[in-house]
């Protein structure tokens, strides 16, 4: 019952604060960061209390991994490799950008696995 109430609260919040959420997505650079911010309740502001619980945010982490790896960094890596192939040399800037993209992909995937493992561990500790 509490989860359903939380979902209805969040649905109402997003219906009334769509423009605020959109601006925060643009400013924070991602959906997951904006979701975390509007669910933080920071400074007791109603606008920062969407009603999403920590559990629900963790369930949405797949969105972050998909957005970071598939929609952002994988295309960047492909373009960087094509650029280097076209020039027949990896410039310093291209090498740094490629390294940063690969590190970002690695960090996102590792964080996803760690979070998933932590959730599985909590499940087994309850049982």
The Cα–Cα gap between 48 and 14 comes to 11
How many whole angstroms separate alpha carbon 95 and alpha carbon 73? 14
Question: Where in the chain are the domains?
Answer: 1-57, 60-127
Instruction: Report whether pLDDT(124) > 60.
Output: no
Reported as a single tens digit per residue, the pLDDT across 72-102 is 889 999 999 999 999 999 999 999 999 999 9
pLDDT digit string, tens, across residues 3-59:
544 577 888 888 888 899 999 989 988 788 888 899 888 888 888 888 888 878 877
Average pLDDT over residues 63-74: 81
Q: For residue 62, give both structure tokens.
A: 């797949």
Cα–Cα dist 23/45, whole Å:
17
Please, are residues 10 and 52 in contact by the beta-carbon 8 Å criterion?
yes
| pLDDT value, residue 2 | 42
């Amino acid at each position: 019952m509490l989860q359903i109430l939380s979902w209805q609260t969040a649905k109402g919040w997003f219906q009334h604060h769509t423009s605020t959420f959109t601006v925060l997505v643009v400013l924070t650079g991602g959906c997951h960061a904006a979701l975390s911010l509007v669910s933080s309740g920071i400074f007791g502001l109603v606008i920062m209390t969407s009603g999403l619980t920590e559990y629900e945010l963790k369930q949405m982490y797949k969105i972050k991994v998909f957005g970071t790896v598939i929609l952002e960094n994988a295309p960047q890596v492909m373009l960087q490799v094509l650029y280097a192939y076209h020039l027949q040399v990896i410039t310093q800037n291209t090498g740094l950008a490629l390294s940063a993209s690969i590190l970002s992909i690695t960090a996102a995937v590792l964080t996803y696995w760690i979070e998933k493992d932590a959730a599985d561990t909590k499940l087994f500790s309850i049982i």
